[in-house]
Structure 1
Amino acid sequence: MKAKHIAFLSLSVLAGTFASCTGSHEIKITGSVKNLDGGTIIYQKSIDGMFNSQSQDTLKLNTDSTFSLTLPSNGYEQIRLFLWGKRYLGSFIADGGNYRLQIDAAATHPISILEGKNEKNMVVSRLMDELGQDVFDVLSRKGDKWGITQDTTATSVSKKLQDAVLALDEKMKGVDEDLYEKACQNTRIQTMWAFQNQLFGIAYRYSEATKQSWLKEWEKMMEFCRVNHPASTFSPAFHEVVYNNAGITYYTKEEPVDEDLKKNPNKLIFHYIEKNLTGQAQESAMALLFLRDANEEKYDPEILPLEERFEQLYPQSKWQPLIDEAIAKNKAFNQAKTPDYIHFPDVDNAKTFKDITDLYKGKVIFMDIWATWCGPCRASFAYVKPLQEYAKANDIVLLYLSIDRPEEDAKWRKMAAHYDLMGEHVRVQEAFKDEIYTTFGNAQKALSIPHCVIIGKDGEIKFKSAASPEDMEKLKSQLKEAAQAGA
Structure 2
Amino acid sequence: MLLYKFDNTMISTIKFRIIIWAFIGLCLVACSHKKKYVIIQGKLIGYHKGDSVIYFKPIDGFNNSQIFETTNIINDSGEFKIVFPSDSIGFTKIQTKKGNIFILAQNGDSVYSEQQTIPYADSFAMQPVIFTGSNSAMHNLYNKMNSNYFYKFNYAMDLLVKKYPAGSNLYDTLLSGINKYLLPFDSIYKQKKISKYCLEIMKSDFRNAMFWHVYHNMGALEKNNLWIVPEPEKDLKRDILQHSINVDPFLLHTNFGTGLLADFVGEYNELFRNQDYPVYDTFFYKNGLEYKASAHLIPGYNKFFWADMIIFKTLQNQEYGFSFDTIFSHLKNTFPGFTYIKIIEHLKKVNESNLNKSSAKINSNIHLIDSTRAINSLDKAIKTHFKDTAVYIDLWATWCMPCKEEFRYKNQLNNLLKEKNIKLMYISLDDTSKKNTWEQNIQYFDLEGYHILAGKNISNDIAKRVYGHEIVQSIPRYLLVNKQGKFVSMNMSRPSDLVTLKNELDSLLSKN
| TM tier, smaller | 0.5 to 0.7
Q: Report the residue type matching 1:26 in the other structure.
A: K
Deviations 1:307-356 (A, max 9, x none): 44333333322223433354346546766427161343556652677986
Q: Which residue of 2 aligns with 1:233?
A: 252
User: Within 1, Cα distance between the matches of 2:460 and 2:78?
Assistant: 52
| Counterpart-to-counterpart distance in 2, 1:292 and 1:126 | 29
SS of structure 2 residue aligned to 1:58: strand
Aligned amino acid, residue 282 of structure 1: N
What letter matches 1:413 in structure 2?
Answer: E
Of residues 69, 73, 96, the one that matches 1:84 is 96
Q: Secondary structure at the match of 1:50?
A: coil
Alignment pair present for 1:320 and 2:333: no
Aligned to 1:112: 132
Q: Say which of 442, 448, 453 aligns to 2:481.
A: 453
SS of the equivalent of 1:315 reads coil
Q: Which one-letter code corresponds to 1:322 in the other structure?
A: I
Question: Aligned to 2:362, which of 330, 339, 362?
Answer: 339
Tell me, yes or no, if the aligned pair for 1:294 and 1:329 is still in contact at 8 Å. Answer: no
Task: Pick the aligned partner of 2:330 from 295, 309, 329.
Answer: 309
CA apart distance, 1:403:
5.2
CA distance in 2, matches of 1:105, 1:150: 35
Give the aligned residue type for 1:221.
H
Aligned to 1:110, the other structure's residue is in SS state strand
Gaps of 5+ in 1: 9-18, 258-265, 483-487
**Residues 1:412 and 2:412 aligned together:** no
Matched, 1:72 2:91: no
Once the two structures are superposed, residues 379-423 of structure 1 have per-residue CA deviations (whole angstroms, 9 ceiling, x without a partner) of 554444467679999999765455544223223222221222334
Matched, 1:53 2:65: yes
Cα deviations across residues 88-122 of structure 1 (Å, max 9, x unaligned)?
Answer: 4452423x44x544333328662211xxx5xxx77
Residue 221 of structure 1 corresponds to 243
- TM-score, normalised by the number of residues in structure 2: 0.62
User: How far is 1:141 from its partner?
Assistant: 0.8
Out of 309-318 and 37-46, give the one that drifted further: 37-46
Which amino acid is 1:129 matched to? Y
Measure how far apart 1:276 and its partner are: 1.2
Q: SS of the residue aligned with 1:38?
A: coil
Greater Rg by CA: 1
Correspondence for 1:12? none
Retained in 1: the 8 A contact 2:93–2:102?
yes
Q: Give the distance between the partners of 2:66 and 2:390, measured in 1 at CA.
A: 37
1:209 CA drift (Å): 4.6
Number of aligned pairs? 442
Distance 1:453 1:302 in 2: 38
Equivalents in 2 of 1:393, 1:202: separation in Å? 45
**Alignment partner, residue 122 of structure 2:** none
SS of 1:450 mapped into structure 2: strand
Question: Quick one: distance in 2 between partners of 1:361 and 1:352?
Answer: 15
Q: Normalization by structure 1: what TM-score?
A: 0.65
Counterpart Cα distance in 2 of 1:479 and 1:92: 44
Q: CA deviation at 1:160?
A: 1.8
Contact 1:249 1:255 in 2 (8 A): no
Counterpart of 1:339 in structure 2: which amino acid? I
**Contact in 1 for aligned 2:290/2:321 (Cα 8 Å):** no
Give the SS at the match of 1:451: strand
Contact 1:299 1:333 in 2 (8 A): no
Q: Equivalent residue for 1:350?
A: 374
> Whose RCO is larger (CA < 8 A, sep 6+)?
2
Task: Tell me which residue corresponds to 2:142.
Answer: 129
* Equivalent-residue separation in structure 2 for 1:210 and 1:159 (angstroms): 15
Structure 1 248/200 Cα, relative in aligned 2: closer, same or farther at 3 Å?
A: farther
| Contact 1:51–1:234 under 8 Å retained in 2 | yes
Take 2:417 and 2:171, find their aligned partners in 1: how far apart are those partners?
A: 61
Q: How much does 1:162 deviate?
A: 9.2
Structure-2 separation of matches of 1:148 and 1:135 = 20
Q: Distance in 2 between matches of 1:155 and 1:480?
A: 52
C-alpha separation between the residues in 1 aligned to 2:41 and 2:188? Answer: 32
Summarize the Cα distance change of 1:53–1:149 in structure 2 as closer, same or farther, 3 Å threshold. farther
- Cα gap change, 1:292/1:148 in structure 2, threshold over 3 Å: closer, same or farther? farther
Equivalent AA in structure 2 for residue 140 of structure 1: F
Q: Percent identity?
A: 14
